[in-house]
Structure 1
Amino acid sequence: MPDNAKLKGPASYFPSIEKTYGQPVEHWLGVLRAAGPMKHMELVALLKSQHGLGHGHANALVAHFMAGR
């Protein structure tokens, strides 16, 4: 994707997530896959409490993950 392409929705957070936490988005999606069947806010809480993500970043990752199920 070109640098000047405008990301929309949860994906608009991805560059900031990768920069802030030092892991590619695929890493975080793997964490969510490994968590097993959980509700949206349970997954958000997991990312926040066990991995130190902020609420907005965790919510964006979970929203993207849940949309792809």
Structure 2
Amino acid sequence: MTTHRVPAPALPADGAKPKGPASYFPSIEKTYGRPVQEWLDLVADRLDDHRHMEVVAWLKDEHGFGHGHANAVVGYVRNALGS
């Protein structure tokens, strides 16, 4: 079993839609073709030595993310890390 610094959220058991930044995650997986956990891991590593908006810009410039998707992933990771 792999341990992630920031695990992807579980989908609500009652079938409800996720709230907050996690509400973007199904669309992020579909749009960018990788599991959201991969993006969370990449962002958590990058936040070690980059600021929030630098990581948002990196996702946009290097991976083609839209601003909302990039900001949702970075915000989710920052919140989970308590930074």
1:60 to 72, 76, 83: 72
- CA distance in 2 between counterparts of 1:4 and 1:21 reads 24
1:11 is matched with which residue? 22
What is the CA distance between 1:3 and its match in structure 2?
A: 7.4
2:45 to 34, 59, 63: 34
User: CA RMSD, aligned part only?
Assistant: 1.4
Moved over 3 A (4+): none
Task: Considering fraction of residues, name the structure with more helix.
Answer: 1
- CA distance in 1 between counterparts of 2:44 and 2:74 reads 10
Report the count of equivalent residues.
Answer: 69
Question: Which amino acid is 1:66 matched to?
Answer: R
- CA distance in 2 between counterparts of 1:30 and 1:37 reads 14
Once the two structures are overlaid, the 10-residue window that deviates more, 26-35 or 43-52, is 26-35
Q: Whose radius of gyration is greater, 1 or 2?
A: 2
Unaligned runs of 5+ in 1: none
TM-score, with structure 1 as normaliser: 0.88
Identity of aligned residues (%): 57
1:24 is matched with which residue? 35
Once the two structures are overlaid, the 10-residue window that deviates more, 36-45 or 50-59, is 36-45
TM-score, with structure 2 as normaliser: 0.75
Question: Which amino acid is 1:33 matched to?
Answer: A
